[in-house]
A and B are shown apart, each in its own frame.
Chain A
Amino acid sequence: MDFLIESVLKVAVVFGVLLGSVAYTTLLERKFLGRLQVRHGPNRAGPFGLLQPLADGLKFFFKEDIVPANVDKPVFILAPVIALVPAICIVAVIPFGDSVTIFGREVKMHITDMNVAVLYILGLSGIGAYGAMLGGWASNNKYGLIGAMRSGAQTISYELAMGMTLVSIIMMSGSLSLTKIVAGQTFYWNIFFQPVAFVLFIIAGLAEINRTPFDMPEAEAELACGFNIEYSSMKFALFFMAEYAHMISLAAITVCLFLGGWNLPFGWEVPFVPKIFWFIAKVFLLIVFFIWERGTFPRLRYDQIMNLGWKWLMPIAIVNMLVTGVVMTLIG
């Protein structure tokens, strides 16, 4: 029964931590964006606005749940769920740290170590694209439909570039399992060998999760929120949570693939600091970076995004893959 209890506990803990992080990432984003724009951000609910996520959640719960006339009802209701579930499921393959010993039992710090973890992540983010597409289509709203089309096109285009970028990492580590990829970075992180791939991955990832400067599907100024325009109450909250869950998982995946996971570079060790701390610190810094660039970059135009994806990221990723292959063959 130990295996079962351990698995259920791990799932529960990871799920809880993820949802808590989602809630507080929204606060971090609002506070930090506020500072970048010389405002204070939310500071009324609790000390330093710390209870703001709670207040937001309560407000979402008590809002009226409106289903507009002439929407495609089953798809309209299903879309937020399709958006959120893959975003949460991605976390199942992310290794958070080395194994630890609890009550004399070795516990691995990941829910499952799948040997096709990278493909699993790509597949799930593909399913996640349906959420925005179906939501926008089912809303029976022009803005919604345009947002949906943009979201779909963008996700497919950048998923290709992302996959191509990942190939070079997979070639280097010889495995699709995130745990093994991290284990190969105890001394040198992958970013030292693959700086180009790292930049490409961050750009493609930001486009994939529809964040600024690639937030065309919900460009407020032109689409009045895009695919989620007709959604209210908890249905809107599900879309919102999906966005932030994607952001956290993108940060975690980037840390695993390029920044050594729970390892410090060059085999450094700091006594008395659990390894999971480094993982959390790196994820946190990446999230701060995502928020920072949101406050810095203007939104790209739609055709610019498509050009960037197909005419720049894809070819660079393919060339990077070729160079990696040639160098690996030469070194042996």
Chain B
Amino acid sequence: MDFTFATEQKFLVLIADIAFVGFIVATLFGGIVAVGARQLIHAVLGLIMSLMGVAGLYVYLGNHFIAAMQILIYVGAVSISMVFAVMLARPPEDAKAKPLMFATKIGSGAVIALFAAFVVGRAVIAHPWVKAATVVKEGTIRQIGENLLTTNVFVFELISLVLLVAITGSVIIAKRGRDNTDQQGGGV
């Protein structure tokens, strides 16, 4: 019974560290699966895992809003439409025929990765890091909303215009496709 406040604090930090390592592993492993998988759907699953790892890193950094948005938009919407596309496509017959990873590919990839790591690492070490200000827990959503509707209102409206054009365009494209392949009745 010699647990004190400090031990609890240490234990919680330990749990957070383990979670951090887990998120990093999920991000990297998911990324490797996404580029290395032969089955398309496995690649998409890898991508989802990677995105969720990044969402976990946002949680670790204390910004729950961005993490929730990451899950909601990238995992819940973008990746689901990818899974849809993959499901609707015919599975490739020669999915297992050719190995994707040749030794030369792996070798050249490793050399490029090492070079990039060297360059980025030097920049990271050289950069004078300032400790982040304490996170305001309650205000994040409010701040984002106020920013969007005051300082950055022009950008906000511009994005909404771009999205409107995109929606209209996709409706037109979808409509033309339907006219060509005369009305195939209700749904999937």
Contacts and interface: CB of A to CB of B under 8 A. Distances in A.
B45 A119 contact: no
B154 interface: no
Contacts of A146: 188
Contacts of A152: 80, 83-84, 87
The A interface, classified by DSSP as helix, strand, loop or mixed, is helix
Interface stretch (A34-42, A123-131, A255-263): A123-131
A127 B71 CA distance: 8
Query: Chain B at the A interface: mostly helix, strand, loop or mixed?
Result: helix
Contacts of B72: 119, 122-123, 126
Given A115-B64, A116-B141, A126 B80 contact: yes
Nearest to B72: A123
Contacts of B80: 126, 129-130, 133, 152, 156
A190 B80 CA distance: 32
Interface size class of A (residues with CB under 8 A): 35 or more
B26 interface: no
Contacts of A129: 76, 80
Contacts of A127: 71, 75-76
B3 interface: yes
Q: How large is the interface on B (under 10, 10 to 19, 20 to 34, 35 or more residues)?
A: 20 to 34
A119 B187 contact: no
Interface in B76-116: 76-77, 80-81, 83-84, 87-88
Contacts of A124: 71
Given A75-B45, A306-B187, A116 B64 contact: yes
A2 B140 CA distance: 29
A133 B137 CA distance: 36
Given A145-B87, A148-B87, A4 B187 contact: no
Contacts of B71: 123-124, 126-127
A159 B187 CA distance: 18
A74 B49 CA distance: 14
A302 interface: yes
Contact of B186 (A74, A149, A301): A301
B45 to A, nearest CB: 7
Nearest to B1: A1
Interface stretch (B5-13, B121-129, B173-181): B5-13
B186 A303 contact: yes
B152 interface: no
B41 interface: yes
A127 B65 CA distance: 17
A3 interface: yes
A200 interface: no
Contact of B41 (A72, A122, A123): A72
Contacts of A122: 68, 72, 76
A119 B138 CA distance: 15
B12 A4 contact: yes
A114 interface: yes
Interface of A: 1-4, 72, 74-75, 114-116, 119-120, 122-124, 126-127, 129-130, 133-134, 137, 145-146, 148-150, 152-153, 156, 159, 176, 301-303, 306
Give 4 closest A-B pairs by Cβ, nearest first: A126-B76, A303-B186, A119-B68, A123-B71
Given A123-B75, A126-B77, A129-B80, 4 more contacts: A115-B140, A120-B64, A126-B76, A149-B88
Interface of B: 3, 7-8, 11-12, 39, 41-42, 45, 48, 64-65, 67-69, 71-72, 75-77, 80-81, 83-84, 87-88, 137-138, 140-141, 185-188
